[in-house]
C-alpha cells in the first residue's frame, strides 16, 4: 500500500466509531432516499461513479472509494473496488484477531454493502454489439456482493431496493441477514448464468445450443395453492428474465390461477397463436379468429371462424363433453357478445389478446370463478424443452417447425381438393400439439374428432372416429407419426374420411398407399414426425 493509501485508511482503523456503508448500484431506484436515511442515522457513506454523483447531488455527504483506497479508478472504471481497503473491510470477522490486522494496516470495517450489477442482460436485450456487452460484465460488483454475503454475520448485503427498509431497522436479525445473503448469491449466480449463456451463443432465457453444462436460472413468479393434486406443493417459476404470455398475463376477472390452469393455458395459448398466424397467412392476410379448448394439456375443440363468438361456438360444439371445465384461448378480442356466448358452459380459464371492459364486467358478475386473462403474443420463447427425470432432466430443442418448413408430397393417385388442403394444414397444427399417439379429424376449419395419448395408433384413430360420429363424413385425418399398418386408412375410409396427412417413412408405406388408392383417398406425406410425450 502507498503511504497515501495507508494514511487515509488509518483514519478508519481500530478507532472507527461510525458504521460505514458502501453503495454502488446500477439500479438507482430509491438509492438517494436510502443514503439520506443512513446519513441521518450516523452512517458514513462510501460510493463510486454515477452512484456517488447522484447521492452528492441530492445533498448527501459521501466519500469516494478512491479516497479510501488511495488509488483512482483505473482502466476506464474496470478497477476501482478491487483493493484490500475495500475487501479487507468487508471480509474481516468482527473479532480481535481480524480487527487487529485491519488496524495494523489502517483499514476500517465496512458494515453494509449495497450493490447491484452492471446491466448486462439489459444491454444484450437491446441488441448491443459484442464489445459493449463484454464491457457490461461486472467484476468488482460480484466480488463485493459475494464477500459481504460470506461475512453476513457482520455485514448487511443488499442487492434489491425492496430490501432497503430491512437495513434501516435498529437491529437486523440473524435470519434476515442470512436471507439477504442467500438473495445476494442468487443475484450473482443469475448474472453469471446470463453471461455464460451469452458467450455460448444465446441468452439466459434463450439458450441456442445444448452445452456441456446447462444452468436453469429460475425465480419464483407466482405461488399456487398446490400442484397437480392437493397433496403436492407447487409454484410457478420464471426462466431468467423471460416474459411468458401466461405467466405475465393480466388477470382481468376471476380467481387466482392454479398449477393446472397455468399448464393448460400455456398449451392453449401456444396452439391458438400458431394457428392464428398460419390461418392469417393462408387467408392472404385477412384476419381470422381462432378458438382452442384444452383439457388436461390436450386440445379437445379447435375452430377457425370470422369472429370470436362463432369460433368459440364451433370449438365448443366440437366436443361439448370434454370442453366442460376446460381452458379456452382465442386469438382476437373478446366482446360482450362473445362473452355472453359462453353462458351455460363451465370453464376454468379464458385467455385472449384483449377483453373489452363490458365483457370483463360481465364475466366478473356472471362467471366470478372464471379466470379471464389478457396475454401478449409469444415473443422470444425458449428454444429448449426441459422435462424432469429422476435425478436429472431430458432436454431438447422445442418442436417449433412451421408448416412452411415442410415439403408435403401427395403419394396417392387422388389429389386433395383445395378445402382438403386447408383442413389438412389446420389439423396438422392441432395434432402436433396433442399428446402421442394422436389422430385428429377436421372438416371446414373445425376439429370433429380427436384421439390423444393412446398407446396404439389404431386406438387413437378409433377414439377420434368415435368422437366425430357422423361428422367424420367428408373430414380429413392427420397423424403426428407414421402408420405401421393400413388399419387406420381402412377405418378412416369406412366412416367417410376423404384425405389423410402423415409423416410417412414406415416399412409398410407401400401397403398404406395402396389401401388409399384402393379406397379412393388422398394421402400426403410430410416427412416430419411430431411425437409429443
Q: Which helix (H) or strand (E) holds 112?
A: strand 112-115
Chain-centroid distance of CA 314 in Å reads 31
Pairwise pLDDT comparison (215 vs 147), residue with the higher score: 147
Note the pLDDT of residue 382.
65
pLDDT digit string (tens) for 319-361?
999 999 999 999 999 999 999 999 999 999 999 999 999 999 9
What are the CA-CA distances from residue 337 to residues 84, 165, 349 (Å)? 70, 49, 18
| Span of 383-392, 436-445, 490-499 with lowest mean pLDDT | 383-392
Q: Which helix (H) or strand (E) holds 334?
A: none
Highest mean pLDDT of the ranges 110-114, 223-227, 381-385: 223-227
- Average pLDDT (21-28) is 86
- Average pLDDT (304-310) is 95
pLDDT digit string (tens) for 138-156?
888 888 898 899 889 888 8
Note the pLDDT of residue 35.
87
Note the pLDDT of residue 24.
87
Note the pLDDT of residue 280.
84
Q: Which helix (H) or strand (E) holds 346?
A: none
Is the pLDDT at 14 greater than 50? The verdict is: no
Give the three-class secondary structure for 164: helix
Is the pLDDT at 54 greater than 50? The verdict is: yes
Taking phi over 0 as left and psi of -120 to 50 as alpha, with beta for the rest, 33 belongs to: alpha
Task: Give the percent of the chain with pLDDT over 90.
Answer: 52
Polymer length in residues for the chain:
533
Residue 215 pLDDT class (50, 70, 90 cuts): confident
Note the pLDDT of residue 77.
64
Query: How many whole angstroms separate alpha carbon 9 and alpha carbon 306?
Result: 75
Pairwise pLDDT comparison (414 vs 171), residue with the higher score: 414
Is the pLDDT at 43 greater than 50? The verdict is: yes
Note the pLDDT of residue 296.
93
Whether 245-374 and 3-199 are alike in CATH topology: the answer is: no
Query: How many whole angstroms separate alpha carbon 126 and alpha carbon 144?
Result: 27
pLDDT digit string (tens) for 279-296?
888 777 677 899 999 999
| Span of 214-218, 357-361, 394-398, 465-469 with lowest mean pLDDT | 214-218
- Maximum Cα–Cα distance across the chain: 99
Note the pLDDT of residue 512.
97
Instruction: Judge whether 31 and 50 are in contact, CB under 8 Å.
Output: no
Q: Who contacts 41 (Cβ-Cβ below 8 Å, separation ≥6)?
A: 168
Give the three-class secondary structure for 36: helix
Residue 81 pLDDT class (50, 70, 90 cuts): low
Fold annotation for 405-525: Cytidine Deaminase; domain 2 (3.40.140)
Q: Which residue has the cell 432432466?
A: 393
Note the pLDDT of residue 6.
40
Residue 510 pLDDT class (50, 70, 90 cuts): very high
Note the pLDDT of residue 1.
33
pLDDT digit string (tens) for 242-262?
788 999 999 999 999 999 999
Fold annotation for 245-374: Cytidine Deaminase; domain 2 (3.40.140)
Is the pLDDT at 315 greater than 90? The verdict is: yes
Note the pLDDT of residue 462.
97
Is the pLDDT at 70 greater than 70? The verdict is: no
Strands 326-330 and 289-295: antiparallel
3.30.70.1560, 3.90.1150.10, 3.30.497.10, 3.40.50.1380: CATH of 3-199: 3.40.50.1380
- Average pLDDT (233-242) is 85
Query: How many whole angstroms separate alpha carbon 72 and alpha carbon 79?
Result: 9
Query: How many whole angstroms separate alpha carbon 518 and alpha carbon 492?
Result: 13
Using CB atoms within 10 A of its CB, is residue 379 exposed (0-12), middle (13-18) or buried (19+)?
exposed
Q: Which helix (H) or strand (E) holds 352?
A: strand 347-352
Query: How many whole angstroms separate alpha carbon 293 and alpha carbon 268?
Result: 7
Q: Which helix (H) or strand (E) holds 268?
A: helix 259-282
Note the pLDDT of residue 380.
56
Note the pLDDT of residue 208.
55
Instruction: Judge whether 408 and 523 are in contact, CB under 8 Å.
Output: no
| Domain residue ranges in the chain | 3-199, 245-374, 405-525
> What's the order of all strands across the beta sheet hosting 499-502?
409-410, 522-525, 499-502, 476-479, 439-442, 447-451
Which residues sit opposite 440 in a β-bridge?
Answer: 450, 478
Give the three-class secondary structure for 218: strand
The C-alpha cell of 288 is what? Answer: 381470422
String of DSSP letters for 132-143: HHHHT--SHHHH
User: Taking all residues of the chain, what is their mean pLDDT, rounded to a whole number?
Assistant: 87
Query: How many whole angstroms separate alpha carbon 265 and alpha carbon 245?
Result: 9
Residue 10 pLDDT class (50, 70, 90 cuts): very low
| Span of 7-21, 112-126, 352-366, 403-417 with lowest mean pLDDT | 7-21
Determine phi and psi for 51, rounding to 5 degrees.
Answer: -65, -45
The answer to whether the Cα torsion of 419, 465, 260, 217 is positive or negative is: negative
Strands 499-502 and 112-115: unpaired
Pairwise pLDDT comparison (306 vs 14), residue with the higher score: 306
Give catalytic residue positions.
150, 296
Is the pLDDT at 13 greater than 90? The verdict is: no
Expressed in percent and rounded to 5, the helix, strand and coil fractions of the chain are 40, 20, 40
Is the pLDDT at 230 greater than 80? The verdict is: yes
Instruction: Judge whether 403 and 428 are in contact, CB under 8 Å.
Output: yes
- Average pLDDT (144-170) is 88
Amino acid at each position: 500500500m502507498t503511504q497515501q493509501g495507508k494514511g487515509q485508511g488509518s483514519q478508519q482503523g481500530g478507532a472507527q466509531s461510525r458504521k460505514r456503508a458502501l453503495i454502488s448500484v446500477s439500479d438507482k431506484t430509491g438509492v438517494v432516499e436510502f443514503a439520506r436515511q443512513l446519513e441521518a442515522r450516523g452512517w458514513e457513506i462510501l460510493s463510486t461513479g454515477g452512484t456517488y454523483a447522484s447521492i452528492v447531488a441530492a445533498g448527501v455527504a459521501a466519500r469516494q472509494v478512491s479516497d479510501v483506497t488511495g488509488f483512482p479508478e483505473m482502466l476506464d472504471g474496470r478497477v476501482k473496488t478491487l483493493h484490500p481497503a475495500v475487501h479487507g473491510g468487508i471480509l474481516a470477522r468482527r473479532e480481535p484477531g481480524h480487527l487487529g490486522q485491519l488496524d495494523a494496516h489502517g483499514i476500517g470495517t465496512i458494515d453494509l454493502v449495497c450493490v447491484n450489477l452492471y446491466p448486462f442482460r439489459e444491454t444484450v436485450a437491446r441488441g448491443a454489439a459484442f464489445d459493449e456487452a463484454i464491457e457490461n460484465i461486472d467484476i468488482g460488483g460480484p466480488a463485493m456482493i459475494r464477500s459481504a454475503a460470506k461475512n453476513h454475520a457482520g455485514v448487511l448485503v443488499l442487492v434489491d431496493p425492496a430490501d432497503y427498509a430491512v437495513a434501516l431497522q435498529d437491529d437486523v436479525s440473524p435470519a434476515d441477514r442470512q436471507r439477504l445473503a442467500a438473495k445476494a448469491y442468487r443475484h450473482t449466480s443469475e448474472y453469471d448464468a446470463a453471461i455464460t449463456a451469452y458467450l455460448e451463443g444465446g441468452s439466459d432465457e434463450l439458450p441456442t445450443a445444448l452445452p456441456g453444462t446447462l444452468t436453469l436460472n429460475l425465480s419464483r413468479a407466482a405461488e399456487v395453492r398446490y400442484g397437480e393434486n392437493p397433496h403436492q406443493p407447487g409454484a410457478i417459476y420464471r426462466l431468467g428474465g423471460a416474459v411468458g404470455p401466461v405467466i405475465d398475463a393480466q388477470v382481468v376477472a376471476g380467481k387466482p390461477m392454479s398449477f393446472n390452469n397455468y399448464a393448460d393455458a400455456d398449451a392453449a395459448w401456444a396452439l391458438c397463436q400458431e394457428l392464428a398466424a398460419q390461418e392469417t397467412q393462408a387467408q392472404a392476410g385477412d384476419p381470422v379468429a381462432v378458438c382452442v379448448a384444452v383439457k388436461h394439456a390436450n386440445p379437445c375443440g379447435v375452430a377457425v371462424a370470422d369472429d370470436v363468438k362463432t369460433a368459440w361456438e364451433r370449438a365448443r360444439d366440437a366436443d361439448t363433453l370434454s370442453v366442460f371445465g376446460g381452458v379456452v384461448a382465442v386469438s382476437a378480442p373478446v366482446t360482450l357478445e362473445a362473452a355472453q356466448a359462453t353462458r351455460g358452459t363451465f370453464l376454468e380459464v379464458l385467455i385472449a389478446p384483449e377483453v373489452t371492459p363490458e365483457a370483463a364486467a360481465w364475466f366478473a358478475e356472471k362467471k366470478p370463478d372464471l379466470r379471464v386473462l389478457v396475454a401478449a403474443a409469444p415473443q422470444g420463447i425458449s428454444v429448449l424443452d426441459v422435462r424432469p427425470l429422476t435425478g436429472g432432466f431430458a432436454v431438447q430443442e422445442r418442436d417449433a417447425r412451421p408448416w412452411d418448413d415442410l415439403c408435403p408430397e401427395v403419394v396417392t393417385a387422388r389429389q386433395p381438393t383445395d378445402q382438403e388442403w386447408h383442413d389438412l394444414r389446420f389439423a396438422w397444427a392441432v395434432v402436433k400439439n396433442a399428446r402421442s399417439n394422436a389422430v385428429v379429424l377436421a372438416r371446414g376449419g373445425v376439429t370433429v374428432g380427436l384421439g390423444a395419448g393412446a398407446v396404439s395408433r389404431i386406438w387413437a384413430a378409433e377414439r377420434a372416429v368415435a368422437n366425430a360420429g357422423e361428422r367424420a363424413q367428408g373430414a380429413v385425418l392427420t397423424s403426428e407419426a407414421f402408420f405401421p399398418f393400413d388399419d387406420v386408412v381402412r377405418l378412416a375410409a369406412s366412416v367417410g374420411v376423404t384425405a389423410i396427412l402423415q409423416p410417412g417413412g414406415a416399412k409398410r408405406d407401400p401397403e398404406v398407399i395402396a389401401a388409399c388408392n384402393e379406397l379412393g383417398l388422398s394421402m400426403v406425406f410430410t416427412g416430419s414426425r411430431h411425437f409429443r410425450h
